[in-house]
Structure 1
Amino acid sequence: MSIYLRNDIWWIEFTSPDGTRIRRSAATEDRQQALELEAKLKHDLWRVYHLGEKPRMLWKKAVVRFMREKQNKDSSNEISIFKYLDPYFGHLYVDEIRRMHIDDIIQQRLKEGVTNATVNRLLQKLRAVLNKAHKEWEVKCDPPYIKLLKEPKKRVRWLAEPEALRLINALPSHIADMATLALETGLRESNVTLLRWEQVDFSQRIIYIEGDDILKSEQAFVVPLSDAAVDVIKRQVGNHPIRVFTYKGNPIKRANTKVFKNACAELGIENFRWHDFRHTWATWHVQRGTPLEVLQELGGWSDYKMVKRYAHFTHQHLQQYVNRSPSDVPTIFPTKVNFG
Structure 2
Amino acid sequence: MSIYLRNNIWWVEFTAPDGTRVRRSSATEDRQQALEFEAKLKHDLWRVYHLGEKPRMTWKEAVVRFMREKQNKDSTNEVSIFKYLDPYFGHLYVDEIRRMHIDDIIQQRLNEGVSNATVNRLLQKLRAVLNKAHKEWEVKCDPPYIKLLKEPKKRVRWLAEPEALRLIKALPSHIADMATLALETGLRESNITLLRWDQVDFSQRIIYVEGDDILKSELAFVVPLSDVAVDVIKRQIGKHSTRVFTYKGNPIRRANTKAFKNVCAELGLEDFRWHDLRHTWATWHVQRGTPLEVLQELGGWSDYKMVKRYAHFSHQHLKQFVNRSPTGLATISPTMAKFGQ
| TM-score normalised by structure 1 residue count | 0.91
Matches within 5 A, 1:197-236: 197-236=197-236
Does residue 22 of the first structure (1) align with residue 42 of the second (2)? Answer: no
Deviation at 1:328, TM superposition (A): 4.7
Counterpart of 1:60 in structure 2 is 60
Deviation at 1:37, TM superposition (A): 3.2
Counterpart of 2:10 in structure 1 is 11
**Matched residue type, 2:21:** T
Deviation at 1:319, TM superposition (A): 3.2
Give structure 2 stretches of 5+ with no counterpart: none
User: Which is further off, 48-57 or 304-313?
Assistant: 48-57
Q: Work out the CA distance in 1 between the residues paired with 2:20 and 2:242.
A: 43
Deviation at 1:38, TM superposition (A): 3.1
Deviation at 1:318, TM superposition (A): 2.9
Q: Would the alpha carbon gap of residues 13 and 327 (structure 1) be closer, same or farther in structure 2, given more than 3 Å must change?
A: same
Aligned residue for 1:329, secondary structure, equals: helix
Aligned residue for 2:219, secondary structure, equals: coil
Question: What whole-Å deviation, never above 9, does each CA across 1:197-239 have from its counterpart, x for those lacking one?
Answer: 1111111111111112211111111101111101100100111
Does residue 46 of the first structure (1) align with residue 65 of the second (2)? Answer: no
Contact 2:12 2:34 in 1 (8 A): no
Contact 1:16 1:42 in 2 (8 A): no
Give structure 1 stretches of 5+ with no counterpart: none
Q: Work out the CA distance in 2 between the residues paired with 1:293 and 1:21.
A: 51
Aligned residue for 1:289, secondary structure, equals: coil
Counterpart of 2:242 in structure 1 is 242
Counterpart of 1:78 in structure 2 is 78
Matches within 5 A, 1:188-199: 188-199=188-199
Question: What whole-Å deviation, never above 9, does each CA across 1:164-220 have from its counterpart, x for those lacking one?
Answer: 111111100000000000000000000000001111111111111111221111111
Deviation at 1:21, TM superposition (A): 2.8
Q: Work out the CA distance in 1 between the residues paired with 2:173 and 2:219.
A: 32
Deviation at 1:53, TM superposition (A): 1.9
Aligned residue for 1:222, secondary structure, equals: strand
Counterpart of 1:277 in structure 2 is 277
Contact 2:186 2:282 in 1 (8 A): yes
Aligned residue for 1:184, secondary structure, equals: helix
Deviation at 1:157, TM superposition (A): 0.5
Deviation at 1:141, TM superposition (A): 1.1
Aligned residue for 2:10, secondary structure, equals: strand
Q: Work out the CA distance in 2 between the residues paired with 1:82 and 1:60.
A: 9
Aligned length: 333
Deviation at 1:31, TM superposition (A): 5.8
Question: What whole-Å deviation, never above 9, does each CA across 1:64-93 have from its counterpart, x for those lacking one?
Answer: 111111111111111111111111111111
Aligned residue for 1:195, secondary structure, equals: coil
Q: Work out the CA distance in 1 between the residues paired with 2:138 and 2:6.
A: 33
